[in-house]
Structure 1
Amino acid sequence: MAVKKRQKALASGRPPVSRPKERMSAQQSRTIIRTHHRLHKQLAAAQKTGDEMKAKELEAAIENNGGIAAYQAASKQGQANDRGGDSSKVLVDWLVELGVIDRKARGQNSTKQVPLRCLEVGALSTTNAISKFPTLIEMTRIDLNSQGPGIEKQDFMKRPLPKSDQERFDILSLSLVLNYVPDAIGRGAMLHQIIQFLKSKKGYAADNESLPLLFFVLPLPCIDNSRYIDEPRLLGIMDSLGLVLAKKRMTAKLCYYLLRWTGTVRRTRFEKKQIRDKAGMNNFSIEV
């Protein structure tokens, strides 16, 4: 029997279970991550069609795969130095290049500069690279399933909207989060939500035009091997939301972007539209 469709929360289908105690091999962590994403895509499809039986089977499969705890543990191990390192190192490098922070000032007390405010969505650690500048950057970390003290358990989509620039952020980090949202409409909604958390341009001096910024990371296949999204389309979506490209970096597995918030939103609709099709391509998409 078909069930009434309802908007899925970001936390849908993410039951916390006990965390693995032993260090995984690189192959084990990759398998957990890939299986987790595959099962969640199938779950979203089952929920969309109202197939309750299939949805329950997939929820059980997700739990058997370790649930969100195993996924986060695998992701956290991927940030270890011998597994490629933590993605916020790229953000720190870019902030230094843009003159937003001075690497030499790390750990020094400064009365000249009010710390920048950074919201890290999907935070896994309180000791990553962006956390090494406590006098320059004030960190707020949230995640659906907190990994420990210093990370607030919170669904970003349910976080109260800021009422003033004092409650907004200079930097927002969204690393390997958007690809976790189960459907295209939900991803577009998250991007709309993001710009409401970035400070307005009027709050910055003329010599600090780089801010505010969005640090955005996706698995490379999301733009390199999707039927519905490529880089020009992704950047077109971002531009329509007032986010313009400042920096980018591609690796064999990830695409890193730093986008500057202009404060100007153009109401442009991007529907799910097939732009290419080859065997083995994925269906990652964003609708705004």
Structure 2
Amino acid sequence: MPKVRKRKIPVTATVASTSNTSSSSKPEASRAVIRRFHVLLKRKTQLLKATDRDLARKTELANVEHEIEELGGMESYQRMSTIGQGTDRGGGSEKVLIRWLKDKEMHKKEKKLSRLLEVGALKPDNYESCSTWIDNTPMDLNSRHPSIMEQDFLLLDEEQNHLKWDIISLSLVLNFVPEPSDRGRMLHLANNFLVSGGHLFVALPLPCLANSRYLDFDLFIGLMTFLGFTELQRHWKQGGKMVYHLFQKTMDVPLPLTKLTIPLRLSKKMILRTGDRNNFSILL
């Protein structure tokens, strides 16, 4: 069996050794396992989509699947992610979204509950404290709880979800989607699914915007503007690990887009930074 060359890690950070990390609750160990899962699952998707099935690709796919299992599979990934959302580590990103929504006094409005679609939910009760003004629907690709809907956001019925949601949360979701074009489609679907004036919350690892070869803050905001969103809030800090955005839908952008209407800078990777960078990008 031929040896498979190790590929350069494409997205956000150098991966530390994963031996014995899947059972550790230390923050750095949890992050190392999560980063490694992102790399492996992205590569697995690429290999499964490959048109050719030569021996080298089959061998690499088998090696990738074996390493995923060695790390404990998706259960281990989700457990590490849940640990990272613990209150002893500052809690989940929902705290940021709740604070921003309260700043807009959405909790005081005398109307029906705001319908929230929480994509990538690892716990069913992240918004329980807001149940008097938020009707939350938690959803994840691999549900860990009966109250979390197991569903791929990209495969949601477009007609049934058209103008259905008041708020959509994509917290640490886009960076988990393997293909740049699917990330762009996810954001476009969010526009389609939100009511006019609805809110979109996006949380990403900071290096996705601050240290990417192909994406920076200006290009990301330009892409979101093209998709009918206006930026309301942004939070990150130098040396931090996360960046949070709150957008408001200010324009309908019907599905599907045509290539003739998409600016080249939003549909093709273009180098914005050189040097030691990651390859994260979002394309339409």
- TM-score for both structures, normalised by structure 2: 0.81
Larger mean CA deviation between 217-226 and 61-70 belongs to: 61-70
> Does residue 1:263 correspond to 2:251, yes or no?
yes
Structure 1 residues 184 and 164, CA gap change in structure 2 (3 angstroms): closer
Identity percentage of aligned residues: 38
Structure 1 residues 115 and 60, CA gap change in structure 2 (3 angstroms): same
Query: Which residue pairs with 1:58 in the alignment?
Result: 64
Counterpart selection for 1:133 from 98, 120, 130: 130
How far off its partner does 1:46 sit? 3.6
Q: Distance in 2 between matches of 1:93 and 1:195?
A: 22
Residue correspondence of structure 1 range 227-266 to structure 2 within 5 A: 227-251=213-237, 252-265=240-253
Q: What whole-Å deviation, never above 9, does each CA across 1:66-120 have from its counterpart, x for those lacking one?
A: 2221111111111112223110000010001112124xxxxxxx9x421110000
**Cα pair 1:227 1:274 within 8 Å, conserved:** yes
The number of equivalent residue pairs is 248
Which sections of structure 2, spanning at least 5 residues, go unmatched? 1-20
**Cα pair 1:223 1:230 within 8 Å, conserved:** yes
Q: Distance in 2 between matches of 1:158 and 1:22?
A: 33
SS of residue in 2 equivalent to 1:53? helix
Give the residue type in structure 1 aligned to 2:247. Answer: L
How far off its partner does 1:268 sit? 2.6
Query: Which residue pairs with 1:15 in the alignment?
Result: none
Q: Distance in 2 between matches of 1:81 and 1:183?
A: 32
Query: Which residue pairs with 2:193 in the alignment?
Result: 197
**Cα pair 1:116 1:171 within 8 Å, conserved:** yes
Give the residue type in structure 1 aligned to 2:119. Answer: V
RMSD: 2.2
Structure 1 residues 72 and 53, CA gap change in structure 2 (3 angstroms): same
How far off its partner does 1:184 sit? 0.9
Residue correspondence of structure 1 range 1-288 to structure 2 within 5 A: 24-47=25-48, 49=50, 50=52, 51-102=57-108, 112-128=110-126, 130-163=127-160, 168-199=164-195, 201=196, 211-251=197-237, 252-265=240-253, 267-269=261-263, 270=266, 271-279=268-276, 281-288=277-284
**Cα pair 1:40 1:182 within 8 Å, conserved:** yes
Q: Distance in 1 between matches of 2:106 and 2:123?
A: 23
Which sections of structure 1, spanning at least 5 residues, go unmatched? 1-19, 103-109, 202-210
Q: Distance in 1 between matches of 2:184 and 2:99?
A: 28
Q: Distance in 2 between matches of 1:277 and 1:191?
A: 27
Q: Distance in 2 between matches of 1:225 and 1:238?
A: 19
Larger mean CA deviation between 250-259 and 39-48 belongs to: 39-48
How far off its partner does 1:149 sit? 2.4
**Cα pair 1:226 1:282 within 8 Å, conserved:** yes
Structure 1 residues 193 and 136, CA gap change in structure 2 (3 angstroms): same
Give the residue type in structure 2 aligned to 1:115. Answer: L
SS of residue in 1 equivalent to 2:200? strand
Q: Distance in 1 between matches of 2:44 and 2:271?
A: 22
Give the residue type in structure 2 aligned to 1:34. Answer: R
How far off its partner does 1:41 sit? 3.3
Structure 1 residues 70 and 164, CA gap change in structure 2 (3 angstroms): closer
Give the residue type in structure 2 aligned to 1:221. Answer: P
